[in-house]
């Protein structure tokens, strides 16, 4: 089995693991929102932090849709450098988001990166593609 073909299932599994953790954060976001607030907080402060986290998670899910579309369309499925980068980033994101859930990190520590690389590659392949003569 070549290196590129062994990256495909590993990349798929890390993307799905990352996606499952993001969905889990949606379900258990109350603890992370409370960790972002002082000990004495108002309902407005709670709602504001909760809304910020929901927006960040919604953007993440949207970017997952873009990345999975690029992956399943074959644009980046067999690109070894993209596969290795995506594998490393999703693996590190899965580990760090696990800590985010279990250690109740503050909401501002949440970030997304892998889908931006996927978007750039998607634009480069389809946007800059020359038409055959």
Whether residue 133 has pLDDT greater than 70: no
* Rounded distance between C-alpha atoms, residue 111 and residue 9, angstroms: 24
- Output 59-64 pairs: Cβ under 8 A, ≥24 positions apart: 59/112, 60/22, 60/112, 60/115, 61/22, 63/112, 63/114, 63/115, 63/116, 63/118, 63/119, 64/15, 64/18, 64/19, 64/22, 64/115
Task: Give per-residue pLDDT as tens, 18-59.
Answer: 999 999 988 888 888 888 888 899 999 999 999 988 988 898
The pTM of the full predicted model, rounded to 2 decimals, is: 0.75
Residue 20 or 6, more confident: 20
Task: Give per-residue pLDDT as tens, 67-123.
Answer: 888 888 887 787 777 788 788 878 888 888 888 778 777 766 666 555 566 666 667
What residue spans define the domains of the chain?
3-127
Residue 45 has a pLDDT of 92
């Amino acid at each position: 089995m070549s290196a590129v073909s062994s990256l495909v299932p590993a990349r798929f599994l890390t993307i799905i693991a990352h996606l499952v953790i993001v969905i889990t954060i949606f379900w258990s976001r109350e603890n992370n929102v409370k960790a972002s607030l002082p000990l004495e907080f108002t309902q407005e402060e709670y709602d504001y932090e909760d809304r910020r986290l929901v927006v960040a998670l919604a953007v993440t899910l949207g970017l997952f849709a873009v990345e999975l579309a690029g992956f399943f369309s074959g644009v980046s499925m067999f690109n070894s450098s993209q596969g290795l980068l995506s594998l490393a980033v999703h693996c590190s994101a899965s580990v760090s988001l696990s800590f985010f859930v279990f250690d109740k990190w503050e909401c501002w520590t949440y970030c997304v990166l892998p889908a931006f690389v996927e978007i750039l590659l998607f634009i480069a392949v389809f946007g800059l593609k020359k038409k055959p003569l």
